[in-house]
Structure 1
Amino acid sequence: MMRNRILGGLFGVAVGDALGGTTEFMSEAEIRRKYGWLEEIVGGGVWQLEAGEITDDTAMTIAVAKGILRNPQDPIEAIGEYFMEWKATHPKDIGNIIRTVFGLYDGSWTEAARKAGMLLGGKTAGNGTLMRCLPVALAYGDAAFMEEVTRRQSEMTHEDPLAAEACLIYNRIAARLLEGEQLTAAIRAEITRTRYEELLNRAAPLSPPDGFVVHTMEWVVHHLLTAESFGDVVQRAANKGGDSDTIGAIAGGLAGIYWGYDGIPSKYTDKILMRHDLIELGESLLALRESERQ
């Protein structure tokens, strides 16, 4: 059961990313005109993706997972090494905050994030840490350590506490889902008495589906609370447009844990180009999580 959930989480990120990558930066009206209702992974879009190709959301999620697996007790430096390896491949899509931090990195992630904050006028509350944080919850069953690593991986690139706050709420929900809690109950438990509490009324957020981490989290929570299946979650994100690949990846990660790998339609999982890498990563994260318990 845990294997099904961990693989579901990883594939949920990748599917939401690959589906939403087609409609990133488009408006709902543009999407309707071009695709009607997009529900298949077809590639294209602003990045001219192959069908099933992932973007920075999944790539950085994989880097976090690999860093954890290389040094589970203190993974931050290893995560950073995988970030820089990925940057060296000249990916199509790197978010502005992360690109800035990469350019400033000189041996200290904290210092690079601080300098980037100054350079960007304090605007470092993007969703680039939320999109990649799920492997921390998948790897660690110990809540306190999971939360420490979640916060630290966020602060590597985004100094704004709003980014870390969203990652912590998100991974706490993930931890509950990994233990078998119901989706709505897990979300309610973790967003009550937070800035996201009003989303429990299921009304659509008034915010745009953009890269500001608070807006992103609002749409993620809304899609999860109102959808009836995994496919429904990622399709809603993709058809909303805006930062659709990232919102789809983040919402898809939690939906994937909840519905499990077996609950993700095979038309999605079979299409992901790096599916074999994700399966291997999932098996390794499962082994690490189980070794913790012994």
Structure 2
Amino acid sequence: MQDQMLDRLKGGLYGVAVGDALGGTTEFMSVREVKAQYGYLTEIIGGGVWQLEPGEVTDDTMMTLCVAEGILENPAEPMEAIGRYFLEWYQSRPKDIGNIIRHVFEKYEGDWLESAFIAHADMGQSGGNGSLMRCLPAALAYNDPAEVERVTITQSRMTHYDPRCAEACVIYNRIADRLLRGEELSEAILTEIKGSEYEGIIEDEPDCPPSGFVVHTFRWVLHILLHATDFSDAVQRAANLGGDSDTIGAIAGGLAGIYYGYEGIPAKYAEAILIKDRLDRVVSLLYALRTSSSA
């Protein structure tokens, strides 16, 4: 069912953007502050700490597109192209950019892995969620699970030296790969977190803040996905957490978007996104790449 595959790919990329745009309103707020100001946020209204336009996305979606476009330019060895798109985006002076990633960009002198190591040493840590938020295109682009994993790890190590970042990205994209092949959401998650530090997130709400630390972020994402009733519920749960809500929304939205498909994303959300033309172009190219490699 190739049309179904296209619906899943488009759902994944739009899911990232919708979760990002919805959650961008409440980033850095507490649950109490979100409730006091918005009740329960369900609409893409912009504003927030970044003074977003309604439907404007942040670094989560923009860096996801950089990874996608780098893969499309050179599917066999995409690191150089991904890095070039990263730097072009950085030079556009974006409103929102994570501290670890900013530090890597400032240190970059031609070797991404070295820059990531230097940033890790300078900052004393590199366990942020910035490579997890953008890794989905590796699962969308490649049919071969080994290629998915190789590119997933590569794009993570370009900016995040901490191995927990690459590990989370690999688990995430293994789940995505299962969803693209038609597996149930809960089954895909529970299979891939078995034996990992995320195994205990099934019933209880995570006992950690919804912070930018990759382990905290991913625990919240998995908890949300295991309990959400549909796409809207997933991204709304993320947005109403506050904290790093745009990134948690983008990461949860990517998997929810694949699972429920583009058709499962409310039109009011998809149509609100300001960069629809770019998303549509990338989706069509990813679909062409994926289907050509499976022919």
User: TM bucket by the smaller chain?
Assistant: over 0.9
CA distance in 2, matches of 1:71, 1:247: 29
After superposing on structure 2, the runs of 4+ consecutive aligned residues of structure 1 that deviate more than 3 Å are none
Equivalent position to 1:3, from 3, 6, 12: 6
1:254 maps to 255
Equivalent position to 2:177, from 175, 186, 191: 175
Q: CA deviation at 1:293?
A: 1.2
CA distance in 2, matches of 1:281, 1:83: 16
2:46 maps to 43
CA distance in 2, matches of 1:105, 1:292: 33
1:91 maps to 94
1:58 maps to 61
2:161 maps to 159
Q: Is 1:225–2:226 an aligned residue pair?
A: yes
> What residue identity is the alignment partner of 1:280?
R
CA distance in 2, matches of 1:229, 1:126: 27
CA distance in 2, matches of 1:293, 1:228: 32
CA distance in 1, matches of 2:181, 2:294: 14
Which residues of 2 match residues 101-140 of structure 1 at below 5 A? 101-121=104-124, 123-140=125-142
CA distance in 2, matches of 1:70, 1:279: 16
Deviations 1:57-90 (A, max 9, x none): 0000000000000000000110000000000100
Number of equivalenced pairs: 292
1:195 maps to 197
Q: CA deviation at 1:158?
A: 0.3
Q: CA deviation at 1:276?
A: 1.5
> What residue identity is the alignment partner of 1:188?
L
CA distance in 1, matches of 2:262, 2:204: 28
CA distance in 2, matches of 1:111, 1:164: 16
> What residue identity is the alignment partner of 2:16?
V
Deviations 1:94-121 (A, max 9, x none): 0000000000000000110011011001
Q: CA deviation at 1:154?
A: 0.2
Q: CA deviation at 1:145?
A: 1.2
Q: Is 1:23–2:23 an aligned residue pair?
A: no
Q: Is 1:291–2:292 an aligned residue pair?
A: yes
1:100 maps to 103
CA distance in 2, matches of 1:292, 1:74: 15
1:32 maps to 35
CA distance in 1, matches of 2:117, 2:34: 38
Partner SS, residue 9 of structure 2: helix
Deviations 1:14-64 (A, max 9, x none): 000000000000000001110000000000000000000000000000000
Q: CA deviation at 1:203?
A: 1.2
CA distance in 2, matches of 1:33, 1:94: 27
TM-score (norm 1): 0.99
Partner SS, residue 112 of structure 1: helix
CA distance in 2, matches of 1:34, 1:120: 34
> What residue identity is the alignment partner of 2:11?
G
Partner SS, residue 130 of structure 1: coil
CA distance in 1, matches of 2:159, 2:111: 10
> What residue identity is the alignment partner of 1:230?
F
Q: CA deviation at 1:2?
A: 0.3
1:244 maps to 245
2:143 maps to 141
CA distance in 2, matches of 1:178, 1:279: 18
